[in-house]
Amino acid sequence: MDATWPNDARDLRAVRDDVAQRLLLAGIADAEVDADLLIGHVLGLGRGEVQARMVLGGGLGEADAAALESLVARRAAREPLQHLTGRAAFRSLELEVGPGVFVPRPETEQVAQHAIDALRAVADPEPRAVDLGTGTGAIALAMATEVPHARVWAVEKSPAAFRWARANVRRIGAANLELVFGDLADALTQLDGTVSVVISNPPYIPDDALPRDPEVRLHDPEAALYGGADGLDVVRDVSRTGHRLLRPGGLLVIEHGEQQSAAIGALLAADGWRAVAHHRDLTGRDRATTALR
C-alpha cells in the first residue's frame, strides 16, 4: 500500500484487500480479520462498520492511510494485533492489553466456561471463586460479570501484568472482584476451605520448548509462558493452593498444553483430587483438566 497517496477518496475496499494480502504473505492466518480491525482502529470503527463502509464505497484519507501503513508494517513483523490496538476481546469483555501481560486467547474462553458453569450451579447466595495468575484479569472478570452474585478474587504477582489487570477491573467496574498482588503459591490463606471454584491458566510451556507463533515467542512475557523443565512447576503450586482454598466438592479448573493431560492427571491424583477429567477445545485438542476437592 502506498500510504503517501494524498487521495482523500481512495477506495477503502482496495486498501483493505491490499492490507489483507500483505498480512497473509507475512504468515498471518486471519489476515482479513486483522486488516478490518486495523482499519477500524485507525478510523474509530468496529469491524462491522468497516465492512459497511466498504459496501458503501468509503474512502481513506492521507493521514489515515499513513497511520494505517505504520500499523500494517508492525503487524507484518508479527507484533500482536492486540498490542497495536490496545484491546483484546474475551467473551463479552473488551480488555486493555499491551507489553508486559499475556494476551488472552480464544481457547481460554471455553476453559473459563467450566468455572462459570460450576459457579452458577453453587447453591450459596454468594459463592466464592479464585483466579490464580490472572494476567489481564480476563477469567476473573468473566466470572465476576457473568455470575454477578459471586465474589471473585484474582491473584497476580507480576507488577506489569498487575497494572493491566487493575486497569481492566477499574474500567469494567466489577465491584464483586478483589484484585490481589501476590504469589499464587501462598495467596489468600484467609479463604482456606471456603471457595467453590478455583481456576488458573498458568505458564505451562517447558523451558526448552519454543512457541510456534512469533507473537507469543517474542512478545508475551516469559513469566507467563514457561513453567520449568516439564512445564508443570506452577501447575504444582496451583494444585496445592487450590486444594487448600476449596471446600469439599469444590471444582479446580486448569488450562494446559495439549500433551500434558496425562501428567497433570497423575499430579492431581497424587495430591488427593477426585473425579479428574480432561476437556478438549474446539479444535479437538486437550486444553483443560478439572478435578473435585
Rg (CA), the chain: 21
User: What's the mean pLDDT in 8-34?
Assistant: 89
Q: What is the pLDDT of residues 113-133, one digit of tens each?
A: 999 999 999 999 999 999 999
Mean local confidence (pLDDT), 63-69: 92
* Closest by Cα among 135, 111, 225 to 184: 135
pLDDT number for residue 278: 97
Grid cell of 94 as nine digits? 473488551
Q: In 10 A of CB 272, how many CB atoms?
A: 10
Average pLDDT, the chain: 93
Which three cell numbers mark 82? 492486540
- Contacts with 270 (C-beta within 8 Å, 6 or more apart), sequence order: none
Q: Residue 8: what pLDDT?
A: 46
Please count the residues of the chain.
293
pLDDT of residue 210: 80
Residues in contact with 203: Cβ distance below 8 Å, sequence separation at least 6, in sequence order:
133, 223, 224, 225, 226, 227, 231, 234
Alpha carbon distance 193, 253 (integer Å): 16
48 with 36: CB under 8 angstroms?
A: no
Share above pLDDT 90 across residues of the chain, in percent, rounded to a whole number: 84
Cβ within 8 Å of residue 1, ≥6 positions away = 15, 18, 19, 22, 65, 68, 69, 72
> pLDDT digit string (tens) for 227-253?
999 999 999 999 999 999 999 999 999
